[in-house]
């Protein structure tokens, strides 16, 4: 049996946030659900690649921002998610 690496507290928070977005997406219309899942997956994967894993201040900022966005998405009056792309 393979041993699993224990996740840190911040890793558990990130995974919990990701699962929260996916659960909330299930409550939306099917076409919007797919869009939400795509946007959330892309955002999390991009941050996993581009954010330094030792930059805890920035990761905590992203977690707080994500939690606020999730709470907004849970609102039944909110039908979907939008994205804004900024060229650096």
pLDDT in tens, 41-86: 999 999 999 999 999 999 999 999 999 999 999 998 887 777 666 6
* Distance in angstroms (rounded) separating the CA atoms of residues 24 and 47: 21
pLDDT in tens, 19-49: 999 999 999 999 999 999 999 999 999 999 9
Whether residue 32 contacts residue 17, with contact meaning beta carbons closer than 8 Å, is answered with: no
Which residue, chain included where needed, has tokens 């919007």? 32
Q: What is the mean pLDDT of residues 2-8?
A: 79
Q: What is the per-residue pLDDT for 7?
A: 84
Which residue, chain included where needed, has tokens 């921002």? 65
Q: How confident is the model at residue 8 (pLDDT cuts 50, 70, 90)?
A: confident
Domain residue extents for the chain = 9-74
């Amino acid at each position: 049996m393979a041993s699993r690496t224990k996740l840190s507290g911040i890793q558990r928070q990130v995974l919990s946030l990701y699962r929260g977005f996916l659960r909330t997406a299930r409550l939306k219309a099917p076409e919007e659900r797919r869009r939400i899942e795509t946007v959330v997956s892309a955002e999390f994967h991009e941050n996993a690649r581009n954010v330094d894993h030792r930059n805890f201040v920035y990761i905590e900022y992203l977690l707080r921002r994500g939690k606020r966005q999730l709470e907004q998405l849970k609102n039944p009056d909110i039908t979907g998610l939008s994205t804004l792309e900024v060229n650096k």
